Amino acid sequence: MDFVNDYNFDPTYGYTLAKLLAITTLKDPKDFDSFWKSRYQKALSLTPKPQIKLIHKDKFGWRVFMLCYLSTNNITIKAWLLVPTSGLIKRGFVIGHGYGGRDEPDYHLPFKDAALLFPCFRGLALSAQVPFSSEPYWHVLHNIHQKDTYVLGGCVEDLWLSVSVMLMLFPQTVGHLGYLGISFGGGIGALALASESRISKAHFNVPTFGHQPLRIRLPSNGSAHSVQKFYCQHKKNTLKVLRYFDAAIAAKRISQPIHCALATFDPCVAPPGQFAIYNALPCEKHLFLLDAGHHSYPNQAQQESELLAELDAFFTTLIP
């Protein structure tokens, strides 16, 4: 689809849908599984010690809480928690954000029988703190030279710990947890779900960090551009680290049903990277095509409404 835009590159990158659906992933690092398994086990051994404070008794049918918990490296993660003002809590959702962070929860989600947790990943939005930059351009580079301390690994651990928090607060949601993540949150979700069996279904919306060799080669705006500039000066070591944070490689290990909303036009998360994640999934998977990602378009409100209805149906199976 053609859009009026002033980008100095083509956000479709010349890929047809057929070509996007043919993208394959590269070879895994030999110790990819052991690298992530040890981090997952360490995260699960921690007690997150959630603390909760009520901030709204009734907002759009939700009771709204501010919540904080301990993640790895003794980092405090802050989050919003929404609980329906009436009725039983039958399921739970963890909802990740894009690289711009978030200013408030998504009150419009249709899951009125669920507890919704909106964590802000380390260094971003509510969880802004030293030594991280809250600017995506710099955040994405934090310790990028070292796979054991690269910030994306910590963000994955923040997600795992948020699952621990949900199960502590709402034990009835065991086996009935879902995840939704957009852009940054979608890529982090794919990396997390490669090891995370406590989430039963997930949705990734224009997920990033797919096919890192393509991501650092295709011209992009946003955090990908920052990584590209860094890569030009530190080529060998950068790609060596990024292989462990390739959401498409992680996707090959996901067994839960996954719903993906992917764009064929996106100036910030190149579509080939998005589709590399979807194509790599060996599990039950569903594809919703968006006209564009990270760019407004005429049909946007209608597509978002259609997507929400599709997600409502997709996650119905979480209801016991």
Domain boundaries, the chain: 17-310
Which residues, other chains included, contact 22 with Cβ-Cβ below 8 Å and sequence gap of 6+? 279
CB 260 within 8 A of CB 204: yes
Cβ count near 84 (within 10 Å): 17
How is domain 17-310 classified at the architecture level of CATH?
3-Layer(aba) Sandwich (3.40)
CB 293 within 8 A of CB 208: no
State percent of the chain over pLDDT 90.
96
> What radius of gyration do the chain's Cα atoms show?
19
Cβ count near 103 (within 10 Å): 8
**What pLDDT band is residue 72 in, cutting at 50, 70 and 90?**
very high
Token couple for 5: 């835009």
Residues 138-152: tens digit of each pLDDT: 999 999 999 999 999
CA distances from 157 to 47, 87, 89 (A): 13, 32, 25
**What pLDDT band is residue 25 in, cutting at 50, 70 and 90?**
confident
**What pLDDT band is residue 48 in, cutting at 50, 70 and 90?**
very high
CA dihedral over 44, 273, 309, 61, signed as positive or negative: positive
**What pLDDT band is residue 4 in, cutting at 50, 70 and 90?**
low
| Amino acid at residue number 293 | G
CB 199 within 8 A of CB 41: no
pLDDT for the residue numbered 1: 58
Residue 94 β-bridge partners = 117, 179
> 26 or 160: which carries more pLDDT confidence?
160
**What pLDDT band is residue 6 in, cutting at 50, 70 and 90?**
confident
**What pLDDT band is residue 235 in, cutting at 50, 70 and 90?**
confident
- With a threshold of 0.75, does the pTM exceed it? yes
